[in-house]
Amino acid sequence: MRLGWLLVALLIISKFIALMPEAHAIPAHSSQLANEIKVTSDTIRVKLSDLGRVLTIKGTDLSLSLAQKPELGSVQADRWVVDCNRNLIYQPETGKSRAIPRTGVLIESLSGILSVNQRRFRDQLVVYPKSDLNPSCMVVNHLPIEKYLESVVNGEFNSKWAETAVEAQIIAARTYAVYQMKEVRRRSVSVFDVESTQKDQVYLGMDRADSKAAQLVERTKGMVMVSSDKKPIKAFYHASCGGQTILPEQVWGGHFAGFHHAVTCPFCHGSPSFQWQHSLSLSQIEQKIRSGIQKDASNRGFWPDRFLKSPRSWTLSGVTATESEDHRAQDLVFAFTSKTGQALNVAMNAYQARNWLDPAKIKSTWFSLIQKGRSILFSGKGSGHGVGMCQWGAKRMGEKGYTREQILSYYYPGIKIAKAF
């Protein structure tokens, strides 16, 4: 390297180091960060989950820069360690540590591949400090949406299923992702578009992608489902409907464009969760309610103050369900008595209550209840929220020779397929 260039490089690096805030200056996290980092329209921002509190980020010639100020230059290294407990990032070789600024640090790899605690990801990671809302730091993976979909294929379904079924599912997953990207960025509320869990779509990084997934993503490149207003729909899908889908309004309220009517589904009766049963004792339910109240502030509103003040002074004596028009449970009604003999009935939306009780065992809200002594038997059908495409049904339709368009228009009646990019 010529001396002049070396001096310029040193100047850039020292400027960058000088601008990194000191370790003690840990700013509060703001939720108003969207669009501070430039994202192109086909780059999706995925919030990664379950990475742990100490992250080792490795790659060939990683470059680290301030996410918001790329013009300040970057520092190269093959390894960075993030200590989320102390909001620090450091190079283990030199031991020098810096606080992670509120706007995040951007780490990218020249080879396009980097790993976080052995899990491999593509392109770019942005690390944000912990905040009042997030007790650990937040890592967001920025990558082209088509590469993201190659991994989602095997996170949400399976590239080895019938091709037309997989193609239909890829189009649904792309549509959901594009909807979220537009919606989140329009509202400017978040530094990520989707979470990497079932809350949005399961994404476990590039080790889940395979050549079949890549081939089928390529075959449907850019395709999304749009409603009559030509906008992508929020393409919900779920594991197995149990024989009948429902509309999103029936689960979450509000209005979702492009969903016109529910459909009967004769295709998923072979699915493992077509019918299920699960039993919980009243004391188990009490315990799950107390933990839900503690962990899930957004659904505490169902519970009256006199219960919230001292949940342990109420004993659960029974649970019943009210039924919606579509024969699913609408509310769960919990009957309590106090030590002084007072009675209290609390109705909670069944979809939310199911998340508190055990969504893996109480697989859907299509269930009935029987109380036997001090235990409640849930007997139900299907798995998941029941909105949009039934994945087991789509799989079966693919096996029977239906095309991807036929599968999609079966579960999303009235949609059209368009190219998003």
Q: What 3 state SS string does 68-132 have?
A: CCHHHCCEEEEEEEEECCCCEEECCCCCCEEECCCCCEEEEEEEEEEEECCEEEEEEEEEECCCC
- Residue 165 is classified by DSSP as H
Q: How far apart are CA 291 and CA 285, in angstroms?
A: 10
Give Cα separations from 339 to 232, 283, 320, 336, 342 (angstroms).
Answer: 54, 16, 22, 10, 7
Query: Shortest distance, CB of residue 170 to Zn ion, whole angstroms?
Result: 19
Query: Shortest distance, CB of residue 324 to Zn ion, whole angstroms?
Result: 18
Task: Report CA torsion sign: 299, 233, 246, 355.
Answer: negative
Degrees to nearest 5, angle at CA 256 with 253 and 260:
105
Choice between 58 and 238, CB closer to Zn ion: 238
* Dihedrals phi, psi of 317, to nearest 5 degrees: -110, -15
- Residue 258 is classified by DSSP as T
Choice between 212 and 269, CB closer to Zn ion: 269
**91-130 b/e (C-beta count within 10 Å ≥ 16 → b):** beeeeebbbbbbbbbbbbbeeeebbbeeebbbbbbbbbbb
Choice between 102 and 396, CB closer to Zn ion: 396
Query: Shortest distance, CB of residue 382 to Zn ion, whole angstroms?
Result: 7
Query: Shortest distance, CB of residue 173 to Zn ion, whole angstroms?
Result: 18
Query: Shortest distance, CB of residue 156 to Zn ion, whole angstroms?
Result: 16
Check: CB of residue 330 under 8 Å from CB of residue 351: no
Choice between 192 and 274, CB closer to Zn ion: 274
Choice between 103 and 365, CB closer to Zn ion: 365
- What is the bridge-based pairing of β-strands 105-116 and 54-66? antiparallel
Query: Shortest distance, CB of residue 168 to Zn ion, whole angstroms?
Result: 13
Choice between 73 and 382, CB closer to Zn ion: 382
Query: Shortest distance, CB of residue 303 to Zn ion, whole angstroms?
Result: 34
Query: Shortest distance, CB of residue 274 to Zn ion, whole angstroms?
Result: 8
Q: Is residue 169 helix, strand or coil?
A: helix
Closest CA to 193 of 329, 45, 69, 338: 45
Choice between 152 and 241, CB closer to Zn ion: 241
- What is the bridge-based pairing of β-strands 237-238 and 389-390? parallel
- Start-to-end CA span in the chain (Å): 41
Query: Shortest distance, CB of residue 78 to Zn ion, whole angstroms?
Result: 49
Residues that bind Zn ion (CB under 5 A): 241, 265, 268, 390, 393
Choice between 235 and 390, CB closer to Zn ion: 390
Query: Shortest distance, CB of residue 388 to Zn ion, whole angstroms?
Result: 11
Q: How far apart are CA 218 and CA 229, in angstroms?
A: 26
Choice between 130 and 363, CB closer to Zn ion: 363
Q: How far apart are CA 233 and CA 182, in angstroms?
A: 11
Choice between 241 and 285, CB closer to Zn ion: 241
Check: CB of residue 335 under 8 Å from CB of residue 316: yes
Q: How far apart are CA 312 and CA 290, in angstroms?
A: 8
